[in-house]
Structure 1
Amino acid sequence: MKLVVRVKLLPTPVQAAALEATLHACNEAATWAAEVAFEQHARRPLLLRKHTYTAIRQRWGLGAQAAQHAIKKTCDAYTTLATNLRAGRYGRPGTRRHTLASGKPVTFRDDAAQPYDDRMLSWQHAARTVSIWTTAGRMKGVAFTGQDEQLAVVAAHRRGESDLVRQGGTWLLIATCEIEEAALNAHPAEFLGVDLGIVDIATTSEGERYSGRRVNRQRANDRRLRSTLQKKNTKSAKRRARKHAGKEARRNKDINHKISKRIVAEAERTARGIALEELTGIRERARLRKPQRTTLHTWPFAQLGAFIAYKARSAGVPVVYVDPAYTSQECSHCHHTARHNRLSQAEFTCRVCGFVEHADVNASHNIRQRGWMAWVCGAQSTAPELTLIA
């Protein structure tokens, strides 16, 4: 299983200047190569290399490996663009958006990620430093930091390339790691149903509800601040909004990590699998009032589902996805389904058998039962192949 770990670099001002110059040179070279690829219709590495390799090395002073990576990055960008065009992510052919996307060369930001292989980058894990190639020469002793658990994963399991990138003034190395998976529990005793919601981020069929008033108050404060800054629409307001958005995203990711860790630990401890909602199209399916739509759209439920899936995969816990349609209206005892069974956001009372339960807990029971039926019918445990964990 592949995991991606972000390692924070701590360069000195001189080292940071060299890294910045290197990143700018690599991305300028890649942008120029993209223009050549567009004009010459040379979008495969071997063909584009014939047109650009020598010029990139002479004009921008890139080393052999850096030039190769700049060319490959350009070709990968065009491959991704072609895939998105075929999938209709830019609209139908002939539309303005489709024409704009396909009718001009790809460009790269000055601080876009640049791949580094083992010839250009070496790690000294004991000293917590790296030796990295730059346009000013090989630069040794660049310090890095991170959580001990994550750095241990990098030291033991790093494979292949790492990407150098600058985000919000912070220098990062994004390392890809190959983690051995635990043996899958092919005979789970039962399934743990997980319902994702608005008031409670996640509710399990054991009755555990993950959110709480403190988190919801913070989410409300975030929405108010975001709305206030958008109304001001000044440069300082936009700058503060970007800064706060990063802080909010990091806090939400931390909460998702904690929730997913507890859910997977409970399933592993009791030798059960995990049944999750299929989240595809959740925004189109949900019919909610405007304040609830805002709450739904501002929480990264897909991220939470991915965290649960990859943690389960590393622990050998099977995961299945079920259709969540009508789980909030179906009685988990007699399976009578009616909209009036759900009296409010939190109350569920079956009109046929009289069963009373918290609405989200009842929905998680239905998800658990559907997960078990899907497993019995031959559903396969799935999890993302590549996940960002730090």
Structure 2
Amino acid sequence: MKLVVQVKLLPTPEQAAALEATLHACNQAADHASTIAYESGVHSRNDLQKAVYAELKARFRLSAQPAVRAVKKVVDAYTTLRANLKAGNLGPAGSKRHRKAVGSPITFRPLAAQPFDDRCLSWQYDARTVSIWTVTGRLRGIAFAASPDQLKTLTAHRKGESDLLFRGGKWFLVATCEVPEPDAYEPVDFIGVDRGIVNLATTSDDTNYQGRRLSRYRRWQARKRAELQAKQTRSANRRLARRAKKEQRHATHTNHVISKEIVAVAQRTGRGIAVEALDGIRERVRLRRDQRATLSSWPFHQLGHHLAYKARRAGVPFLEVDAAYTSQRCPRCGHTEKANRPTRDHFSCRWCGLGGPADLVAGVNVRDRARSAWAFVTMPVAPAPTRA
């Protein structure tokens, strides 16, 4: 499986200036290649490379591999655009958003990330330095900071491209690692995980990961953003920029902690993990205006992603099951009715009288559906009858 490891670069002021000039040159070259691709309609990597390769090298002072990487970045951007248009993510053909997307060439920020392969970038793990190509020449001995786990993963599994990026006034390298994936074991049972807003995750074991602390933190961040935005000063804008990713990092850390604990329990007990398939939930539900910000910032997708990749890395079976009526179905008698959930927190079956926390009942229903799905998937196929 593919993992990414992000390390922080520690360049000197002279090295940082060379890296900045390199990103500017690569993104200017990408803008030029994008304009050629848009005007000529050439989106094939080989054809576009033939059309712009020599000019990118001469005009923007790029060597061979950075020029090739710039062309590939442009081709990938147009491939993503076509996929979004086909999926309807940019609205119908006549909408303003659709016209804006197709009405001009794709452009790249001056300091947008630039991929480098092993011909342009080399790692010295023992010294914790990298050597990288720049428009001013090869820079050697750029120090980087990494944790022992990151360094171990890089040394053993790094393979492919590494992206150079500048974010928040700091330099980073994001390396791709090919980590071997162990075979999933045969689970003795499943842990059902119900994801929510008030309770971020509730398992069928009645382990509850509450989201009140994260909600309070987000409300506090929203108030601070509103105060800074009301000032409308340069200083306030700089502070807003510094705080831009802080809330996201906090939510990501919370999801990492929750998912790591659930996967550890599943691995220790020989069980699998099952979650609800919540794709498209934001488009399906209708909310009051005061609820929209809460749902749009709900990190349920990230929690599911963390559970999935951590489970794969540990060899824990992972399933997504149908989310329909998991909070309204009685796990004992199967009766399903909206009235079974009289309040957000409580479940009470109108048929058999089973009661309990609504999120726990949903987790049990997810577990039961995973049991049925796993039994169906692993069911031996009967041989086809033969004619005499």
- TM value normalised by structure 2: 0.92
Gaps spanning 5+ residues in structure 2: where?
380-388
Q: Cα distance, 1:67 vs. partner?
A: 1.1
Once residues 131 and 376 of structure 1 are traced to their aligned partners in structure 2, the CA distance between those partners, rounded to angstroms, is 52
- Contact persistence 2:157–2:179 (CA under 8 A): yes
Q: Report the residue type matching 1:253 in the other structure.
A: T
- Contact persistence 2:192–2:204 (CA under 8 A): yes
Matches within 5 A, 1:46-85: 46-85=46-85
Q: Note the alpha carbon deviations across 1:220-274, whole angstroms, 9 max, x for none.
A: 3223333444555555444433332311111111111110000111111111111
Matches within 5 A, 1:218-237: 218-232=217-231, 234-237=233-236
Distance 1:288 1:29, change over 3 A: closer
Residue in structure 1 matched with residue 105 of structure 2 by the alignment:
105
- Contact persistence 2:199–2:212 (CA under 8 A): no
**Residue aligned with 1:138, SS:** strand
- Contact persistence 2:194–2:275 (CA under 8 A): yes
Q: Cα distance, 1:291 vs. partner?
A: 4.5
User: Aligned Cα RMSD in Å?
Assistant: 2.0
Q: Note the alpha carbon deviations across 1:167-193, whole angstroms, 9 max, x for none.
A: 1212111111101111111x2111100
Once residues 74 and 12 of structure 1 are traced to their aligned partners in structure 2, the CA distance between those partners, rounded to angstroms, is 30
Q: What count of residue pairs does the alignment treat as equivalent?
A: 379
Matches within 5 A, 1:1-390: 1-185=1-185, 187-211=186-210, 213-232=212-231, 234-287=233-286, 290-378=289-377
* More displaced 10-residue stretch of structure 1: 47-56 or 275-284: 47-56
Q: Cα distance, 1:287 vs. partner?
A: 4.9
**Residue aligned with 2:6, SS:** strand
Q: Cα distance, 1:49 vs. partner?
A: 2.2
Q: Note the alpha carbon deviations across 1:126-175, whole angstroms, 9 max, x for none.
A: 11100111111010110111222122111110111111111121211111
Of the two structures, which has the highest relative contact order with CA contacts closer than 8 Å and spacing of 6 or more?
1
Q: Cα distance, 1:43 vs. partner?
A: 2.0
Q: Cα distance, 1:216 vs. partner?
A: 3.5
- TM value normalised by structure 1: 0.92
Gaps spanning 5+ residues in structure 1: where?
381-390
Distance 1:322 1:227, change over 3 A: farther
**Residue aligned with 1:93, SS:** coil
- Contact persistence 2:197–2:211 (CA under 8 A): no
**Residue aligned with 1:75, SS:** helix
Residue in structure 2 matched with residue 383 of structure 1 by the alignment:
none
Distance 1:299 1:245, change over 3 A: farther
* Identity over aligned pairs, percent: 54
Distance 1:212 1:77, change over 3 A: closer
Q: Cα distance, 1:96 vs. partner?
A: 3.2
